[in-house]
């Protein structure tokens, strides 16, 4: 059943929805000091991603500490932190 749904699904629409979500988040984050966004479209995968790059020194916080705070808040927001834990 799941495979049948996957093979009949409109993947272009699914990607379009994902891209709109990424653009909305990037637009909302624009202008926040010490934060930059980078849109990446994976060549080997099917996922579009939004990479958020923080200037940890200027913020006085690490990406890991921000990720932990987001995860522990309500609603919980989970992010993938790359770099120093």
Which tens digits make up the pLDDT trace of 59-77? 999 999 999 999 999 999 9
The total domain count for the chain is 1
**pLDDT confidence bin for 6, thresholds 50/70/90:** confident
Q: Is residue 20 part of a domain?
A: yes
Q: Is residue 45 part of a domain?
A: yes
In whole angstroms, give the CA distance from residue 59 to residue 46. Answer: 33
The continuous run of DSSP H or E covering 58 comes out as helix 56-59
In whole angstroms, give the CA distance from residue 48 to residue 14. Answer: 11
Q: Is residue 14 part of a domain?
A: yes
Q: Is the peptide bond before 75 cis (omega within 30 degrees of 0)?
A: yes
**pLDDT confidence bin for 20, thresholds 50/70/90:** very high
Mean pLDDT of the chain: 89
pLDDT value of position 40: 85
Contacts of 28 (CB under 8 A, 6+ apart): none
Structural domain boundaries enclosing 22: 2-54
Q: Is residue 78 part of a domain?
A: no
Q: Is residue 76 part of a domain?
A: no
């Amino acid at each position: 059943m799941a495979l049948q749904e996957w093979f009949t699904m409109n993947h272009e629409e699914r990607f379009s929805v994902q891209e709109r979500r990424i653009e909305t988040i990037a637009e909302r984050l624009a202008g926040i000091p010490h934060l930059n966004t980078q849109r990446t479209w994976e060549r080997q995968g099917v996922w579009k991603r939004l990479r958020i790059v923080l200037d940890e020194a200027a913020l006085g916080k690490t990406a890991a500490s921000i990720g932990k705070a987001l995860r522990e808040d309500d609603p919980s927001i989970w992010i993938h932190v790359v770099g120093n834990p």
